[in-house]
């Protein structure tokens, strides 16, 4: 299990915590956010011509985690572009010195060449720390440009799949906006979400290697919310 959380309640005093957060794991579909970032960077730089078809594929890739749409996007931007963007000093989303991070080096659905990451030879990888970093840079407007960051947020808003984190958030925070990407393959389960709503402002990421990973992630939301609430209460000035 690896976890990362960022408490955004006080934007002047943001708090981060992680457990095994630099332990890179196979993350299934969660790293599709890296393809989204590479595509946005390519569009901004004129390397990829935007179109309605591309916009639809990006939405399908994130909201419904559609593998065919993702593979089309990977083929459009290429592995070299994805790696370049992830390693960029501006993004710093993959670095061998800090355990790796986000990586996409294989199509979703088989076939074609691969570009596996160098540390563990994973095809679709993540650390919770770097996924938190992705979300934080996105909400602060630092992924590509402020406008492209907002565009990515819109694509990630209101996910079509309602399991893991979202299953619990639907019940305890139905009025909150959720920006999210998850993944599952065999015993590997992952989820990531920016939650923004009444009394809730945080980023939460989990990577689980366990057959019961979906249930484990679903059950993490409330304990992690309690941990953030307790941490806030401990830092409040004490009355004398």
Task: State mean pLDDT over 133-146.
Answer: 98
Residue 236 has pLDDT above 70, yes or no: no
User: Which residues neighbour 67 within 8 Å (Cβ) at sequence distance 6 or greater?
Assistant: 29, 108, 109
3-state helix, strand, coil in the chain (%, to 5): 40, 20, 35
pTM listed for this prediction? 0.95
Residue 86 backbone zone (phi > 0: left; psi -120 to 50: alpha; other: beta): alpha
Name the band, by pLDDT with cuts 50, 70 and 90, for residue 240: very low
pLDDT at 111: 82
pLDDT at 45: 98
Q: Which residues pair with 6 in a beta bridge?
A: 16, 203
Residue 238 burial (CB count, 10 A): 5
pLDDT in tens, 142-151: 999 999 999 9
Q: Are 135 and 203 in contact (CB under 8 A)?
A: yes
In terms of DSSP bridges, do strands 188-197 and 177-185 run parallel, antiparallel, or are they unpaired? Answer: antiparallel
pLDDT in tens, 44-69: 999 999 999 999 999 999 999 999 99
CA separation (Å) from 231 to 7, 88, 123, 135? 10, 33, 36, 21
pLDDT higher for 143 or 240?
Answer: 143
Task: State mean pLDDT over 212-224.
Answer: 97
Tell me the domains of the chain and their CATH numbers. Answer: 2-234 (3.40.710.10)
**The tokens of 155 are what?**
């694509």
């Amino acid at each position: 299990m690896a976890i990362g959380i960022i408490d955004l309640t006080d934007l002047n005093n943001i708090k981060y915590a992680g457990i095994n957060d630099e332990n890179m794991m196979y993350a299934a579909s969660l790293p599709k956010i890296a393809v989204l970032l590479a595509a946005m960077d390519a569009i901004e730089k004129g390397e990829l011509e935007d179109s309605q078809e591309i916009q639809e594929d990006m939405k399908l890739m994130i909201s419904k985690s559609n593998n065919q749409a993702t593979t089309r996007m990977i083929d459009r931007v290429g592995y070299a572009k994805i790696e370049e963007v992830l390693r960029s000093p501006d993004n710093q989303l993959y670095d061998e010195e800090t355990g790796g991070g986000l990586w996409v080096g294989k199509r979703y659905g088989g076939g074609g060449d691969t570009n596996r990451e160098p540390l563990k030879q994973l095809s679709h990888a993540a650390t919770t720390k770097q996924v938190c970093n992705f979300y934080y840079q996105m909400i602060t407007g630092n992924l590509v440009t402020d406008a492209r960051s907002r565009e990515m947020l819109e694509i990630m808003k209101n996910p079509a799949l309602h399991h893991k984190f979202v299953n619990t958030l639907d019940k305890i925070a139905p009025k909150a906006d959720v920006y999210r990407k998850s993944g599952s393959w065999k015993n590997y389960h992952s989820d990531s979400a920016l939650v923004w709503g009444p009394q809730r402002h945080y980023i939460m990421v989990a990577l689980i290697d366990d057959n019961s990973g979906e249930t484990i992630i679903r059950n993490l939301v409330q304990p992690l919310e309690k941990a953030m609430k307790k941490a806030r209460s401990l830092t409040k000035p004490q009355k004398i």
